[in-house]
Amino acid sequence: MTSENTQKPHDRMAAYLNVDMTAVNDLIRDRMASEHAPRIPEVTAHLVEAGGKRLRPMLTLAAARLCGYDGPYHVHLAATVEFIHTATLLHDDVVDESAQRRGRPTANLLWDNKSSVLVGDYLFARSFQLMTETNNMRVLAILANASATIAEGEVLQLTAAQNLATDEGIYLQVVRGKTAALFSAATQVGGVIATAPDAQVQALFDYGDALGIAFQIVDDLLDYQGDPNATGKNIGDDFRERKLTLPVIKAIAKGDATGRAFWTRTIEKGKQEDGDLEHALSLLNAHGTLDETKAEALAWAEQAKTALNSLPDHELTQMLRDLADYVVARIS
């Protein structure tokens, strides 16, 4: 039997916000319909109904509720956030030539790249329609800026991912763009729609930003030491895709000429041979960069929890604290 204490934080939050989440899901299904292009709901449903945690829209609902909001528009904003997230996933899978997402074939594999890109565009457009219905210019500005930052982060990653000159500062910029920007916007707009004081809105932004960074660093770390059954990814996928993530960036900075030559061949030039992944793992372990990366993820999770100190004392505030711990629990 699942007790309150053993239940995962996002499941507890989903139960607490059940009525709101049902309204969000109904709105998503309503707005992903298309009278003229049946492929749109087909492709969208494949992702939307895939059993994702709906973490980002839940953050919007939680932020609005803990700031005392009781109007209808947090539902619109939560659906907006999910549409932006789904659109970026559709585009990402095309860019990365991915074949699997959440343990299922990707939309670009089941349909084609054109469908994925165009349906992603449609969802972006739908998200902007939803935003405008709130009649709140500040909310519009936050989500529009986040959308631009996400795209910017993805483009920066294209040039940075296989360039050995990429340092931790650029890595953080990429992560803030492609992952943390939507987390921080999701929490921030919840506070804004609730007309919370500026200090609380800033705290919500800071929480989302730090949580998103911790989330991505954990993801990058699990690529080298995760359980494929739990993560849905094979060990070393990032290495095979020649992505410069934090553990590798740290190893390059600490390595000698021989190590640098190895990373140049495998990541920069993409000439990978049998045994290279094992050698990469031995270098990461020799330099202690997996442990260092883990320490950074834990520090960002702590930063997220600290940001919550200026928010109202509420059940949801504690759930957000627990969520920050849960994000890094997989590596603790």
pLDDT digits (tens, 9 = 90+) for 3-13: 445 678 888 99
The model's pTM is: 0.91
- Above pLDDT 90, what percent of the chain? 59
Residue (of 207, 293, 301, 312) closest to 249 by Cα position: 293
Residue 180 has a CB neighbour count (10 Å cut-off) of 26
pLDDT band, very low/low/confident/very high, at 2 (cuts 50, 70, 90):
very low
Task: Out of 117-131, 293-307, 309-323, pick the least confident.
Answer: 117-131
Distance CA 211, CA 228 (A): 23
Tally of residues, the chain: 332
Mean pLDDT computed over every residue of the chain: 87
Query: What pLDDT was estimated at residue 3?
Result: 44
pLDDT digits (tens, 9 = 90+) for 243-296: 899 999 999 999 899 999 999 999 989 899 999 999 999 999 999 999 999 999
pLDDT at 161 over 90: no
Question: Is the model's pLDDT at 107 over the cut of 70?
Answer: no
50 vs 309, higher pLDDT: 309
- Does residue 1 carry a pLDDT above 60? no
Q: How far is it, in rounded angstroms, from Cα 170 to Cα 248?
A: 13
> Do the Cβ atoms of 84 and 208 come closer than 8 Å?
no
Range 10-27 average pLDDT: 90
Q: In this predicted model, what pLDDT tens digit does every residue of 188-217 receive, in sequence order?
A: 999 999 999 999 999 999 999 999 999 999
Q: Can you give the pLDDT at residue 317?
A: 94
**pLDDT surpasses 70 at 88:** yes
Q: What is the pLDDT of residue 238?
A: 87
pLDDT of residue 99: 58
Least confident stretch, 114-128, 164-178, 239-253, 294-308: 114-128
The number of beta carbons lying within 10 Å of the beta carbon of residue 253 is 12
255 token code pair? 């390595």
CA dihedral 235, 239, 243, 244 (to 10 degrees): 100
Rg (CA), the chain: 20
Contacts (Cβ under 8 Å, ≥6 apart) of 222: 231, 233, 330, 331
